[in-house]
Chains A and B, each alone.
Chain A
């Protein structure tokens, strides 16, 4: 089955860019997603990329996909304190598989 790996923590200063990386094993996904989980809340879709694209930009968010290396990244420009959350990349076939997520901490 799908396996997703992400680093557990990332700390950045407010205003800097954040880059969250993810590697996955299952290349059958039609879409790959980034979900955000704020403290005490459920998972909310942040952005996604179609599997035959290399890059997608969505306001402050840039998703890069390297299918050959099975590597997905999420770049958040001008990171704000409200971006502090856990970020999950996910893909998979009929079911989505999540990793442990990356906890982003934004410091003033």
Chain B
């Protein structure tokens, strides 16, 4: 069964360092998303991506964040200079159709710990 895969499963980094989280969405999907979940809190929308550009982003997704689809298969989330409050589980998702009209398939998440 096709699935969304994410790497790394866990990354520990020092505050101020750059981090890249990688995702391989399901191959025929067109919409890609990043969500994050700070421990014990809501799953929060960060950004959606379609046709090689950001289609929507939340207030959380500031200039420190960027997304890229560098090679047609990977979908990456870069945090330029990590802060302690960036520690969270980051989930990548993909869908055939947009938003609430289509099922989102989630990866198992990448846990980011910023020290």
Asked if B18 is at the interface of the complex by the 8 Å CB criterion, the answer is no
Complex Cα spacing A60 to B106, Å: 23
Q: Closest B-chain residue to A8, C-beta based?
A: B40
Q: Are B33 and A98 in contact (CB under 8 A)?
A: no
Check A43/B99 contact, CB under 8 A, given A88-B43, A95-B56, A97-B45.
Answer: no
Residues of B within 8 A of A (CB): 4, 33, 35, 40-45, 48, 55-56, 91, 93, 98-101, 103-109
Q: Closest B-chain residue to A40, C-beta based?
A: B108
Q: Are A98 and B109 in contact (CB under 8 A)?
A: no
Complex Cα spacing A30 to B4, Å: 24
Q: Are B106 and A42 in contact (CB under 8 A)?
A: yes
Q: Are B104 and A45 in contact (CB under 8 A)?
A: yes
**Chain A residues, Cβ within 8 Å of B100:** 28-33, 90-94, 96
The interface bits of chain A over 67-90 (1 if a CB of B lies within 8 angstroms of the residue's CB, else 0) are 000000000000000000000101
